[in-house]
A = this chain, B = another copy of it.
Amino acid sequence: MKLVLGIDPGTAVTGFGVVALDGRVTTLVECGVIRTNARDPLPKRLHEVHQGVVELIARHRPDTISIEDVFYAKNVRTTVVLGHARGVILLAGQQAGLSIREYPPSEIKKAITGRGSATKEQVQFMVTRLLRLKSAPQPADAADGVAAALCACMSASLPKMPEFSLSALLAKAAQEKRR
């Protein structure tokens, strides 16, 4: 059995889901959100997000952390602040020595619904089906965390998926630059 912690990063609300993978059967262990106060300064909020993820890792001891990649919002500042939150989440995973997976939002949607452009409702419907739940995880950000975890489970139980992760792309870009 493998345990995957899925994270949908945010500075205001970070969604998470812990999913157990046994063979090809996935089961929801826990899901929820880490909320921070928008009136607090960014460093304090980053500290709370980091601490929240550190505690989740300590409680569940997952093998893998699966993190949704940056969504390139029209507002660049929003995207950059989201980058700060992802930074401390990736750090928490690295500090715990977990296997780290990163997936763009469209890849998570595709893994779960078969369509990269699926709506939030379609993703929630499929998450509910795949985990045999009575209703979709609430709030929606928690469902997105669960979807990230499911995506890692599904790529683990499949033959290779092309690697679209940010770090892989960066490494590739650095290699190309060196040539």
* Interface residues in chain A, defined as those with a beta carbon under 8 Å from any beta carbon in chain B: 11, 38-44, 46-47, 50, 70, 72, 76, 79-88, 90-91, 93-95, 100, 166-168, 170-171, 174-175
Interface of A is mostly: helix
Docked pose: A118 CA to B28 CA in angstroms: 56
- Pairwise interchain contact A79-B76, C-beta atoms closer than 8 A: yes
Residues of B within 8 A of A87 (CB): 46, 83-88, 91
Residues of B within 8 A of A39 (CB): 171, 174-175
Q: For residue A107, give the distance in angstroms from its CB to the closest CB of chain B.
A: 17
Residues of B within 8 A of A171 (CB): 38-41
Residues of B within 8 A of A81 (CB): 83, 166, 170
Docked pose: A101 CA to B106 CA in angstroms: 36
Question: With contacts A43-B167, A93-B43 known, is A80 near B88, CB below 8 A?
Answer: no
Docked pose: A85 CA to B86 CA in angstroms: 10
